Structure 1
Amino acid sequence: EIRGCGNILGAAQHGNIAAVGYDTYTLLIQEAVAELKGQPVLRRALPPVEAAVDAFIPEQYVPSEAQKITLYKRISGARSVEEVHELHEELADRFGTPPGPVQRLLGVMQLRALGAEVGAKSIALTKTAVSVTFDSPRLLTRRLRNALIQQFGDRAAFSWENGPSIAFALDAAGDPLATARAFLEFLAHYETHPRFD
C-alpha cells in the first residue's frame, strides 16, 4: 500500500486498467494530474507512416463492413505498442489468427506508436530502408549518433536536409517491418537515457 494513493490500483480501478491497457491508463492518469495542477498536457502526436507493404483487413477475415470500419478506427487510434498487442490478441480471439495483411497493419501501427515515443515527425518504410524524421534537431544529438554508429555501423545514415533524420538500411533477406521495429525500439530505449549534449 502506498500512503496517500487511495484506491488508484485497487479493485475499483482494475476494470479501467483492463479496459484500456496499463500504458494508456498511466498516460491518462498523468494527463489528469497535469490538468489538475494547471500544467500543460504534453501528448506526442502519432507520426504518419508511409509503408510499402500490403496492410489491410481482408474481407475473408472480417466479412462485416461495419466491423471492419470499427476495427480500423480502433487500430489507427492505438497509442502504444501494448495497445497494438492487445488488439492483436482481441482479433485472434474473435476472428482467428490474423492473416499476413492484418499482421502488417498492426506492425505499421507499432512503428507509429514507437515513432511517437521517440519524437518522430514522420516515418517512411521501403523494402530497403526505414527513415525517421524528427520534430526537433535536438533529438538527433551527437551522443545518439555515436550510439547508433556503435550499434549498427554504416547501416545508419544521418541527414539534416529536410529536417533531422536517420535512414537505416534494412536487410534484404529479413522482414522489413520487424527490422524497422527493432530499430525504433533501440531509439525508444535510448530515449530513456540523457539525450541532450
Structure 2
Amino acid sequence: MGKKKLLISLFIPLLLASFLQSQSLSELAKKEKERRAALKGKKTVVITDASLAKVKRRPAVESAEQGQTVEEAAAQEGQADVKAQQGETPPAAEKPAEQTPPGETPAMSEKEFQAKQAEFVEVCEQKQEMIDLLTLKLNSLYQEFYGLDNMKSREIIQLQISDTYDKLLKAETDAKKANKDLEDFVANTKRESVPDIWIR
C-alpha cells in the first residue's frame, strides 16, 4: 500500500504537468515564423571582430606604471571644452543694452535662464564625473597596494594614493560649491521673477 501511494503521488503531478505544458511542434514552428516575420522589416546591426577593433576602449582599472591617467586626460578634455565654449560665446557688446530703471535689475528671459541653468548643471555633472573617476582610481590603487609584496613599489603607490586622495577631496569641495551655485542661481531667479504686486 505504501509503494502504491508513493508511485501515484509521483506519477500524477508529472502527468498533469505534461498535459498543462504540452505544445506541439507545429505550434512552436508557427510562433517562430510569426516572430521572424515581425523582425523582417527591422534593421539589424551585426557586430564583427573588425568593428570591435575600431571601438576606442579605456581600461576600467589602471596600473601604476601608466604615464597619464584617465582622470588627468578627462580634466584636460574638460578644460579644452570650457575654453572652446568660452571662444564660442558671442561678446555682450553685440546686444543692445536694454533700458532699466535705476535700482532694478533686468529680468532674465526664459531662454537665458534655461541656458544659464544648463551651464550650471553641466558644470555639476563634470565635477561629479571627476569624483567618480578619482574614486575609481583610488580603489584601483588600494587594490594594487594590497597586492604587492615589494616595499619600494608600495611606497610609490602610497604616494599616488595620497595624491589621488587630495585630488578627490578638492573635487568633492568643487562639486559641493557647483551644486550650491546652481541652487543659489535657481533660488535667486525664482525670487526675482515674482511680480512686484505680490511683494507689497
Tell which has more relative contact order, 1 or 2 (C-alpha 8 A, sep 6+). Answer: 2
Structure number having the greater strand percentage: 1
**TM-score (normalised: structure 2):** 0.25
Structure number having the greater helix percentage: 2
**TM-score (normalised: structure 1):** 0.25
